[in-house]
Amino acid sequence: MYDVIIIGGGPAGASAAIYTARGNLKTLVIDKAPGAGALALTHKIANYPGVEGEMTGKELLDKMRRQAEGFGAEFIQTTISAVDVEDEEKSIFTAHGTFQAKAVIVATGSKGRNRMLPGEEQLLGRGVSTCATCDGAFYEGKHVAVIGDTEEALEEAHALTKFTDKITFLVPRADLQGVDELPRLPNTEIHFRTRPLEIVGEKSVEGLRIRTAEGTEEMLSVDGVFVFLSGSKPGTDFLDGQVPLDEEGFMILDEFMQSSVPGVFGAGEVRKTPVKQAVVAAADGAIAAMAVDKYINKRSKVVPQYK
């Protein structure tokens, strides 16, 4: 019996583990693929507080996990087949057996689209990005392509205009979902009904092969490709109706990351965050951990950790 089981070992889960373990709560982190999360695949991190210079996302995540382990948190790599979180004792069924806890923090992040572009996965973090605020500064004075079909893509393109010399914005549809009127973006060309076919490059992005609205194929010479196609969704399917979700699958949480099911919390991209950043997910994890401490120890309020 653990005090808390954290499902997911990304920045939200690892941060939560640091706080729960340091708070003397017996902590288990279950992560099915430690090297496959969004942060682990990020090639360069340069804006995480307290981290000088650049490091890979995996290096940052490894530091966070070692810190959690130093306080006593346990990490295991396995897949979850089912959960039972409605009772007072939560049960997590995995390929390595059943684990039980008094509380659960869901920090499974979001799942990518069912189909990626050819070359997208191989060059992720090497010219392919899904976060303008994370990686925009690496493309100062360069030409990038933005691929998207939603309002989010437009916002990300706007963020990139502060850094890039030119943006070619490709929209596979006839319009952008959720956008009634297009704003004028500096140094940006928007092409509707234009489909990306392949991201080209060996060790880094060299170009993008597209099919234009006229049906012809062309090769764009770009230094980077930012992909914001709809289809990414939170990894909450395994909750199987036991915890309230909104229509998009995000957990419905209060300001302390607690769901309406006693003892079940969420953190990171399982909730509808205003921005997707490692530091935001880590902050969620810290809040969820302190709320778990309040829940397990039956405190009247959340007690921050100062030392």
Question: Token pair for residue 189?
Answer: 């060309």
Q: What per-residue confidence (pLDDT) applies to 114?
A: 60
Same domain (yes/no): 18, 163: no
Q: What is each CA distance from 236 to 25, 126, 240, 245, 257, in whole angstroms? A: 24, 29, 8, 8, 15
User: For the ranges 7-11, 143-147, 173-177, which has the lowest average pLDDT?
Assistant: 173-177
Range of the domain at 95: 2-112+232-296
| Domain total in the chain | 2
For the entire predicted model, the pTM comes to 0.72
Most confident of 38-52, 129-143, 192-206: 192-206
Same domain (yes/no): 191, 96: no
Same domain (yes/no): 257, 185: no
Are the beta carbons of 109 and 284 closer than 8 angstroms? no
Q: Which residues pair with 100 in a beta bridge?
A: 91
- The DSSP code for 53 is S
Task: State the average pLDDT for the chain.
Answer: 91
Q: Closest by alpha carbon to 261, among 240, 232, 284, 280?
A: 240
Q: Which of the listed residues 228, 247, 276 is the one where a domain comes to its end?
A: 228
Q: How far apart are CA 288 and CA 23, in angstroms?
A: 13
Torsion sign across C-alpha atoms 274, 84, 67, 123? negative
Scanning the chain, the segments in alpha helix (DSSP H) are: 11-22, 57-70, 132-135, 151-160, 278-296
Question: Half-sphere exposure of 11 toward its Cβ, with a 13 Å CA cutoff?
Answer: 23
Q: How confident is the model at residue 36 (pLDDT cuts 50, 70, 90)?
A: low
CA 2, distance to chain mean position in Å, is 26
Direct distance between the N- and C-terminal alpha carbons of the chain, in angstroms, rounded to an integer: 27
- pLDDT tens-digit series, residues 216-248: 999 999 999 999 886 667 889 889 899 999 988
Same domain (yes/no): 98, 243: yes
Same domain (yes/no): 21, 105: yes
Per DSSP bridges, beta strands 80-84 and 188-192 are unpaired
Same domain (yes/no): 170, 29: no
- Using CA atoms of 149, 239, 73, 291 in order, give the dihedral in degrees to the nearest 10: 90
Q: How far apart are CA 147 and CA 129, in angstroms?
A: 11
Mean per-residue pLDDT, 122-142: 88
Q: Report the SS3 class of residue 187.
A: coil
Q: Which residues pair with 106 in a beta bridge?
A: 7, 266
Q: How far apart are CA 299 and CA 292, in angstroms?
A: 10
Are the beta carbons of 177 and 248 closer than 8 angstroms? no
CATH number at residue 153: 3.50.50.60
Same domain (yes/no): 218, 241: no
Q: Which of the listed residues 180, 199, 228 is the one where a domain comes to its end?
A: 228
The residue among 34 and 291 whose pLDDT is bigger is 291
- Please say if the pLDDT value at position 149 is more than 90: no
Are the beta carbons of 33 and 49 closer than 8 angstroms? no
